[in-house]
Amino acid sequence: MRRLIYVLLFSTLLVGNTLADEGMWLPSLVNKLNISEMQKLGFQLSAEDIYHINHTSIKDAIVALDRGSCTAELVSKEGLLLTNHHCGFDEIQSHSSIANDYLQDGFWAMSREEELPNPGKSVSFLVRMEDVTDEVLAEVSQDMNEEERNREIQSVARELEKEARGESHYETYVRSLFNSNQYFLFVTETFNDVRLVGAPPQALGKFGGDTDNWMWPRHTCDFTMFRIYTGPDGKPAEFSEENIPYQAKHFLPVSLKGVQDGDFAMILGYPGGTNRYETSYGVQYIMNVTNPVRMEVRQEKLRIIDEYMGSSQKARIQYASKYARSSNYYKYSIGQNKGLDNLNVVERKIALEQDFTRWVNADLERIAKYGKALDYIRDAYSDVELKRAQEYMAEALLRGPEIFMFAYRALPLYRLLSEDNPKPEFLEMVKSRVTNGIDLYFKDYDVQTDQKVAAELMRLYANNVDPQFHPQFFSTIQKKYKGDFEKYARKMFKKSVFDDPDELNDFLEKPTLKSLEKDMAFQAAHHIFDQFREMNDLVKEMDDKLDLGNRLFLAGLIEMQDDKRFYPDANSTLRLTYGQVLDYEPRDGVVYKYYTTADGYLEKEIPGDDEFDVPERMKKLLLAKDFGRYASEKGELHACFISNNDITGGNSGSPVLNASGELIGIAFDGNWEAMSGDIAFEPELQRCINVDIRFVLWVIDKYAGASHLVDEMEIIQ
């Protein structure tokens, strides 16, 4: 059966029709699957120009930022990178202070010496990818349960990774595709010295703020610049003054030719995750559990943070990045539910599953293979209360207050202190885990704000989750504090060393088991994680059923729809999507054209507003209309444009390339009308929002006066 599924999978990939704009394709398969269609749309290069392991290709100019949180692209021989402003937001915020407010004023390194290091920042290049399905599944049999199957797969995958890595400094990993019906080996090279080079002020890089987020028309100049550094030998190295700029194997030429309606557009990047083959059961769970929980919890958290951020410049800088991260998917969840509902996705999924059931039941062999697939999936979602408790735990207690996760760092220390005569060298090692990054942590931390968040989110959890899933210390809150979470939070923060750097450092000088046993925040964190593990154990059997059901359902679906090309869901590996620059009609009587101009800044301006303020220098430059070589044929400065490329989270910062493989824009968002896109792609509505590369260069050159950075690029007129 395993062999047959794989043969069917690969053969269906080679036939049938798929809309050119839909699909996140593996670059190594473009030559077999996509190149002829791409060339019909106007693409002028070959598949080997995109992906090749023996000579340089476009893939060598594309990097995963921080192992896939965003994408960036090389635009010079000297390791210069372009990505989104929001992809560099943490670094901009980290370097900001009241004296040097780079969030508000922007940052531009006028020399290499001024470029700022960023500990923990990384970029990863794809060296090669290889289909290893036959090897991974060689010893997998039908009579294995999911645990046995996974154990065999992991064992073989580890050996393949080890063999591919050899004695090199490369990283290797095997990833599953098509719900564990196919496996690919990826070899990557990671660099850890990544320095901040330039960023526009937030008024440009995040113009429109939360109001315009996920919306079109858009006018945001969403970009940041970094540079990769290597050791003197050209290999990856930690930050050092002796390091040198990365010498690019390939970098993208930058086009000033602009875009027209219907132009070919291609994006390469690292999309994080999609669920295009999700069943109706999974979609209903997302709509009824995951998204509502996220919206409810984050609404309260954002309200408290926003209140603090409005109190001072220091507060705004401290919490800017935290607020942005939380608010992005808060709004996304609202839009996704609306989109899934408007597009009747559940009903369409049910209709497909009914077709699938009829197809399965028409053949005894298919009944034996796939007959229980949907039953397994339905059963996996049967205990909604338990899964809802998991969602609330993750949102309200694990990702909610900062103190719980921070205090839990001390668990290894707690365990070591529980032993008789712990070795001093081990004590020092586990203490370093607690102190790692402590200065940066407390730089962006406000005790009173976190205390308010803790009180409110604990209350939310208690009110919405069955008491059987409450962490142990909740009983103390009910009995001793009469259910007053605010009172408990005040006491907890008072009786903890994890909210104050001085108290924490004093404790770590002479750590004792008794101190941790009395520390209320540490004990609460301990109980929270204990409860979370218990819930995970309870759902393990359900998760195994879900994995099995999804795997069988997709294998059967591929066999049933043998006239269709299937592409794998995104999983933070390099993908290619191609399509066109296109306008769209979001609703009756409304047409959105494919581009915006910088005039929108002046039209949207609200002086002094956090989201729509226009810096005085920007206003003067726009009114003067000194756009130079960055102007369109009509003399306009184009701001953003839309294309029907298929992207998702992780694609932020991805290069948008024209038919000649030249950089024409940077992808940064999707549109509100198609927020269902991670589950159901809608070609008539789904659009990728991109900042026009001419706008980016104009800001660097005219606004910032950093023309040396433009001079470093290969500009195509």
Q: How many CB atoms lie within 10 A of CB 340?
A: 22
Q: How far apart are CA 328 and CA 319, in angstroms?
A: 14
Q: b vs e for 15-52, b when ≥16 Cβ sit within 10 Å of the residue's Cβ? A: eeeeebbbbbbbbbbbeebbbebbeebebebebebbbb
Q: Is the peptide bond before 615 cis (omega within 30 degrees of 0)?
A: no
Locate 105 and state its tokens. Answer: 């004023």
**Residue 670 in contact with residue 274, Cβ under 8 Å?**
no
Going by C-alpha positions, the residue among 204, 68, 167 that lies closest to residue 126 is 68
Separation of alpha carbons 539 and 522, rounded Å: 26
The residues near 85 (Cβ < 8 Å, ≥ 6 apart) are: 92, 199, 200, 202, 204, 205, 206, 220, 221, 222, 223, 224
- What is the radius of gyration, based on Cα positions, of the chain? 26
Q: Which of 687, 556, 650, 6 is nearest to 279 (CA)?
A: 556
Give the C-alpha separation, 529 to 527, whole Å: 6
- The CA distance from 664 to 595, in Å, is 13
Strand spans (E) along 341-494: none
Q: Calculate the dihedral angle through the C-alpha atoms of 131, 133, 134, 139, rounding to the nearest 10 degrees.
A: 150
Q: Is 669 a catalytic residue?
A: no
Of the candidates 241, 256, 268, the one whose C-alpha atom is nearest the C-alpha of residue 50 is 268
At 425, list the tokens.
């060298």
Q: What 8-state DSSP symbol labels residue 581?
A: B
Instruction: Give, in degrees to the nearest 5, the angle at Cα 24 between 18 and 30.
Output: 75
The secondary structure of the chain in percent helix, strand, coil, rounded to multiples of 5, reads 50, 15, 35
Residue 714's Cβ-side half-sphere holds a number of Cα atoms within 13 Å equal to: 13
Measured over the CA atoms of residue 81, residue 87, residue 91 and residue 93, the dihedral's sign is positive
Residues 21, 49, 210, 222: which is the catalytic one?
222
**Greatest Cα pair distance in the chain:** 79
Out of 76, 652, 654, 676, which one is annotated catalytic?
A: 652
For residue 583, count CB atoms less than 10 angstroms from its CB and return exposed for 0-12, middle for 13-18, buried for 19 or more: middle
φ, ψ of residue 34 to 5 degrees: the values are: -125, -25
Distance CA 36, CA 43 (A): 9
DSSP string, 682-707: -TTT--EEEEEHHHHHHIIIIIT--H
- Burial pattern 639-663, b for ≥16 Cβ within 10 A else e, equals bbbbbbbbbbbbbbbbbbbbbbbbb
Find the distance separating the first CA and the last CA of the chain, reported in whole Å: 56
85 catalytic residue (yes or no): no
Query: Of residues 52, 85, 86, 526, which has the active-site annotation?
Result: 86
CA–CA distance, 299 with 214 (Å, rounded to integer) = 17
CA atoms in the 13 A half-sphere facing the CB of 1: 16
Q: Which residues carry out catalysis?
A: 86, 222, 652
